[in-house]
Amino acid sequence: MPANETAPPAKKKGRRARLIVLVLVLALFAGLGYGAYWGVDSVRASFPQTTGSLKVPGLTGTVEVKRDDHGIPQLYADNDDDLFRAQGFVHAQDRFWEMDVRRHMTSGRLSEMFGSGQVETDAFLRTLGWRQVAQAEYDTKLSPETKKYLQAYADGVNAYLKGKSGKDLSVEHAALKLSDGYQPEQWSPVDSVAWLKAMAWDLRGNMQDEIDRALMSSKLSTAQIDELYPPYPFDRNKPIVEGGKVEGGKYAPQTSGATGSGSGSNGTGSGNGTALGSPASTGPAATGTGLADNATAQGATVGLRNQLTALAATLDKVPAILGPNGSGIGSNSWVVSGKYTTTGKPLLANDPHLSPQLPSVWYQMGLHCRTVSAQCQYDVAGYTFSGMPGVVIGHNAEIAWGMTNLGADVTDLFLEQVKPEGYVYDGKVLPFTTREEVIKVAGGDSKKITVRTTNNGPLVSDRSEELATVGTRAPVASSAPDRGDGYAVALRWTALDPGKTMDSVFKLNRAKTFDDFRKAAADFDVPSQNLIYADNKGLTGNIGYQAPGRIPMRGQGDGRMPAPGWDSKYAWKGGKDGNAGYIPQSEMPWDSNPSRGYIVTANQAVVESGTGAGKYPYLLTTDWGYGARSQRINDLIEAKIKDGGKISTDDMRTMQMDNSSEIAALLTPMLAKIEVSDPGVRAAQKLLDGWNYTQEPDSAAAAYFNAVWRNILKLSFGDKMPKELRIEGSCMNVLGNGTGPADDLAKTVRECGTRGSDSAQPDGGDRWFEVVRRLVKDEKSQWWSSPRTLTQPETTTRDELFARAMKDARWELTAKLGKDQSTWSWGRLHQLNLKNQTIGTEGPGFMQWLLNRGPWNLGGGEATVNATGWNASSGYGVTWVPSMRMVVNLNDLDKSRWINLTGASGHAYNSHYTDQTTMWAKGELLEWPFGKEAVEKATVDTLTLKPEGS
């Protein structure tokens, strides 16, 4: 059982009861008490055949599957259909359990596999309607070619499934089959498309910030909330694109080396939205939406707080396939021109930061046509998603590309005034659009729900009893309509409109030039990503950047707080056929061959929005990452290339493992000056003497500093947060608020936090770096006040609070790591535990021991380039990681390097289950063969897939 694991909450008893049955079955398969025969037979039965030959229905020719000594496959075929049919077959060989769980999640059908404990999650996902949107995309948006590939892929998965069940598929499927006869159904093309909705959900932008700001209004003033969400520091941390302007319906980069015809300008978008600075919009620093204007005067409503709290709790239960959606979620990518590399051609690095899981969300693979032609168009390798055809991130023979989350604000919450007959909109009552959904439950009765939708989206508040009644007061302007029975909450989200992202994936795989790349990006609707580019053309190659995606154009409001759904002035600007209007793709920022010679994207601001010269006229978001990682990468590159220096492939790898802490560099000199009388605390303080602010896994100084940082955040901000944002179980005494008959303003009340560990605040990300950076200049800020406790005096100044945090940190580490400071290390606190999807996540300890792996002691941390994230409210355990790392060498693709978080296999006892993890933890990269000779040299197993009848 992982060292930092806790027991599942009591609310999941139904699911746990079912999982206990699975434990007993898995015990049988592990041979525990039932003989070795069951263990060997059942574990190995699902391992893929990797040598010899197999017949696959639907193939028209042979496909070779060449695997290296880490089980990574390279596929060779003579036509596109055979290539993608084989990809589906091979994905299913290694990862079908993962694929099966994902499709049940995206369609809101987890209860069919895991019982009643998943009904609430299924109901929420059915309300969002991911599966319906995916079906609409397949039916109405995707090209015939894409649909053909999706069908071929599905046929390959089904060819693998034919005649298999239970232990033939996985140990987990064996358990389900024995417990209730579960048999997987056939794979469909829409199963693959629906996966894009999960990807978009986890990378959806600032929805959590929107909820958090609204909840903060119950306890903090508007000015205080603004202090906790400071503006982006453009003066210190560079945006991705500097300069540039929108002119004549197109974005024009302001770079001396820019090239490209702008052929990506044929993207969709109505172009009739409101630009910043016009009368109907707000600027990027604005905070008012009409809802919070008088929040301080009226106070937040109890009902609205309950509603948003319940919504936040529901969001916490939705499986985060890619990672917790907060300040941590992001990625690093950068590309350096051949002018500044030792190879003479570009080098491109990428490491997406996602939730650690087992197996990794990524699957490494090569898709090769033996001869590239009109019938067989692909020669590409990189990182794929099991369950979806094509390569998501990687390179072909001519270009390479990477992705990071752009972080655009693509979701808005709308308060809706509801009545029995419908909802209010511009003074009229409009009928809901409704549909019924039946949730089948393994081992229980089905549950029927009704989904109600307004013109602002589905009512997500319908999915919780807590949300059934809205409060009697709300922080809304006096012009708000009569509350009636209260307000509901609707979600407007770009991913709920059908799009063409699946088309974009195949176009990226085939692209040969920057123009091709931009045309492909124009279809990358959701999630909105930063796409970087490199090619091997010309003397030094080319580098580029494109911001794609649907970004809504709002009327009034800036998306920072829930908007009044009854007022059309706050709706997203209307486009054709009643669809939302989006920023035209032709006006989205891009860049090519900038004069500085490199491009860095690490979730910082894309551009500086505003109305002045050189500013972007549209609002993408106000909730960027704050640029700590991106500026560190900029600085590392600049330091390397100054005075004629060159960057090598190994330099790129070294940068990916940079552990430097920006907040440590700011605060450590201040901490060193604090007068400390306690000898134990003084000894800990001395650990910081001469420390270079790097967070290596064996560093005692990093352990102590991060403990001090965590306690600074708790004392200055955490204890001042409303309970809805504090970590579940953290309790404190507060004065009564006078809202109930038994309350009195002078009465002490015991108040405990309710927020889940992934999204509790303060989380310690680079937003909090920026908050503290601004506040440390004011030594008597109200935030430095902390009340007296039984063991600590009251604090009123910065240094008093810092001294208290240093003492608390010393004794916290004594309890966690022991009294002897010589044994302290950051890695002992900061551990990675990998959990098998679903069963290994919430099962009892034995099941976790059976399927999970770890711990690994890691370096890095929050907002470092080596981004091994942790939430300061909940502890030091790793919550998100660089889910893979790659460095592409455009001069010699066979000298590119890659690594995955886990391994190719999803089978718990296969040798490739976690065979890359230790190397990943050390920052090592594997060779990445691409050319036929290099692949042949690396091949240890060859499987030939043949047509039936051959």
Phi, psi (deg, nearest 5) at residue 44: -80, -15
Q: What pLDDT, on the 0 to 100 scale, is given for residue 579?
A: 52
Q: What pLDDT, on the 0 to 100 scale, is given for residue 423?
A: 93
Contact assessment for residue 863 and residue 709, using Cβ atoms and an 8 Å cutoff: no
What Cα–Cα distance (Å) separates residue 83 from each residue in 64, 486, 837? 10, 55, 28
List Cβ neighbours of 282 (8 Å cut-off, separation of 6 or more).
276, 288, 556, 557, 558, 619
608 has a pLDDT exceeding 50: yes
Q: Given pLDDT bands bounded at 50, 70 and 90, which one contains residue 734?
A: low
Average pLDDT, the chain: 85
Say how far apart CA 714 and CA 506 lie, in whole Å. 47
Phi, psi (deg, nearest 5) at residue 224: -65, -40
Q: What pLDDT, on the 0 to 100 scale, is given for residue 413?
A: 86
CA angle in degrees (0–180, nearest 5) for 704-709-714: 125
Q: pLDDT digits over 187-240, tens only?
A: 999 999 999 888 877 676 677 888 888 888 889 999 999 999 999 999 999 999
Q: pLDDT digits over 908-941, tens only?
A: 889 999 999 999 999 999 999 999 999 999 999 9
Q: What pLDDT, on the 0 to 100 scale, is given for residue 420?
A: 85
List Cβ neighbours of 899 (8 Å cut-off, separation of 6 or more).
884, 885, 886, 916, 919, 920, 924, 925, 926
Token pair recorded at residue 586: 């032709």
Flag the least confident range among 66-80, 295-309, 453-467.
Answer: 295-309
Count the Cβ atoms, other than its own, within 10 Å of residue 259. 12
Q: Given pLDDT bands bounded at 50, 70 and 90, which one contains residue 561?
A: confident
Q: What pLDDT, on the 0 to 100 scale, is given for residue 789?
A: 83
Token pair recorded at residue 944: 């030939």
Peptide bond into 359 cis (omega under 30): yes
468 has a pLDDT exceeding 50: no
The structure tokens 């992934």 sit at 758
- What mean pLDDT comes out for the span 840-865? 82
781 has a pLDDT exceeding 50: yes
What Cα–Cα distance (Å) separates residue 315 from each residue in 124, 229, 320, 753, 758? 9, 22, 9, 16, 11
Flag the least confident range among 151-160, 725-734, 737-746.
Answer: 737-746
Burial category of 777 from C-beta neighbours within 10 Å (exposed 0-12, middle 13-18, buried 19 and up): exposed
Peptide bond into 741 cis (omega under 30): no
More confident site: 390 or 324: 390
256 has a pLDDT exceeding 80: no
Q: Mind giving me the DSSP string for 261-307?
A: --GGGG-------PPTTSTT---TT----SSSTTHHHH---HHHHHH
Flag the least confident range among 311-315, 434-438, 557-561, 649-653.
Answer: 311-315
More confident site: 758 or 110: 110
Q: What pLDDT, on the 0 to 100 scale, is given for residue 209?
A: 85
Which of 570-584, 739-753, 826-840 is modeled with the greatest confidence?
Answer: 826-840
634 has a pLDDT exceeding 70: yes
Burial category of 881 from C-beta neighbours within 10 Å (exposed 0-12, middle 13-18, buried 19 and up): buried
More confident site: 310 or 218: 218
Token pair recorded at residue 880: 């998100």
Strands 52-55 and 63-67: unpaired
Tally of residues, the chain: 950
- What mean pLDDT comes out for the span 708-730? 94
Token pair recorded at residue 593: 């061959």
Say how far apart CA 550 and CA 529 lie, in whole Å. 10
Q: What pLDDT, on the 0 to 100 scale, is given for residue 686?
A: 98
Strands 529-535 and 487-493: unpaired
Q: Given pLDDT bands bounded at 50, 70 and 90, which one contains residue 472?
A: very low
The structure tokens 């420390």 sit at 691
In one-letter notation, the amino acid at residue 922 is K
Q: What pLDDT, on the 0 to 100 scale, is given for residue 850?
A: 77
Say how far apart CA 167 and CA 41 lie, in whole Å. 9
295 has a pLDDT exceeding 50: no
Q: What pLDDT, on the 0 to 100 scale, is given for residue 846?
A: 61
List Cβ neighbours of 247 (8 Å cut-off, separation of 6 or more).
none
Q: pLDDT digits over 123-150, tens only?
A: 999 999 999 999 999 999 999 999 999 9
424 has a pLDDT exceeding 80: yes
More confident site: 779 or 45: 779
5: helix, strand or coil: coil
Q: pLDDT digits over 888-914, tens only?
A: 999 999 999 999 999 999 998 899 999
Contact assessment for residue 791 and residue 802, using Cβ atoms and an 8 Å cutoff: no
Token pair recorded at residue 799: 């240094």
Say how far apart CA 191 and CA 206 lie, in whole Å. 27
Say how far apart CA 596 and CA 742 lie, in whole Å. 65
Burial category of 184 from C-beta neighbours within 10 Å (exposed 0-12, middle 13-18, buried 19 and up): buried
328 has a pLDDT exceeding 60: no
Say how far apart CA 242 and CA 233 lie, in whole Å. 14
Strands 542-546 and 853-857: unpaired
Token pair recorded at residue 300: 């937040």
Closest C-alpha among 908, 883, 912 to residue 71: 912
Measured distance between the N- and C-terminal CA atoms of the chain, rounded to whole angstroms: 49
Contact assessment for residue 404 and residue 331, using Cβ atoms and an 8 Å cutoff: yes
Burial category of 328 from C-beta neighbours within 10 Å (exposed 0-12, middle 13-18, buried 19 and up): buried
Q: Given pLDDT bands bounded at 50, 70 and 90, which one contains residue 282?
A: very low
Give the whole-number percent of the chain exceeding pLDDT 70. 82
Peptide bond into 324 cis (omega under 30): no
Closest C-alpha among 948, 947, 899, 904 to residue 924: 899
Count the Cβ atoms, other than its own, within 10 Å of residue 741. 5
In one-letter notation, the amino acid at residue 948 is E
Closest C-alpha among 477, 347, 362, 442 to residue 400: 347
What Cα–Cα distance (Å) separates residue 607 from each residue in 138, 408, 732, 761, 802? 34, 12, 42, 27, 36
Torsion of CA 353, 359, 361, 366, to 10 degrees: 110
Count the Cβ atoms, other than its own, within 10 Å of residue 627. 27
94 has a pLDDT exceeding 50: yes
List Cβ neighbours of 613 (8 Å cut-off, separation of 6 or more).
none
Beta bridge partners of 487: 417
Q: Mind giving me the DSSP string for 55-124?
A: E-TT-SS-EEEEE-TT--EEEEESSHHHHHHHHHHHHHHHHHHHHHHHHHHHTT-THHHH-GGGHHHHHH
Closest C-alpha among 609, 544, 48, 515 to residue 274: 609
Q: What pLDDT, on the 0 to 100 scale, is given for residue 479?
A: 53
- What mean pLDDT comes out for the span 97-124? 92
Cα Rg for the chain, rounded, in angstroms? 27
What Cα–Cα distance (Å) separates residue 43 from each residue in 20, 184, 902? 19, 19, 19
Token pair recorded at residue 645: 């220096």
Q: Largest Cα–Cα distance of the chain, in whole Å?
A: 85
Say how far apart CA 760 and CA 686 lie, in whole Å. 31
Q: Mind giving me the DSSP string for 559-582?
A: SSS-EETT-GGGSBPB-GGGPBPB
- What mean pLDDT comes out for the span 737-759? 67
Say how far apart CA 570 and CA 568 lie, in whole Å. 5
Closest C-alpha among 288, 336, 753, 776 to residue 532: 336
Q: What pLDDT, on the 0 to 100 scale, is given for residue 931?
A: 98
Helices (H), 657-765: 662-672, 679-686, 700-716
Q: What pLDDT, on the 0 to 100 scale, is given for residue 484?
A: 53
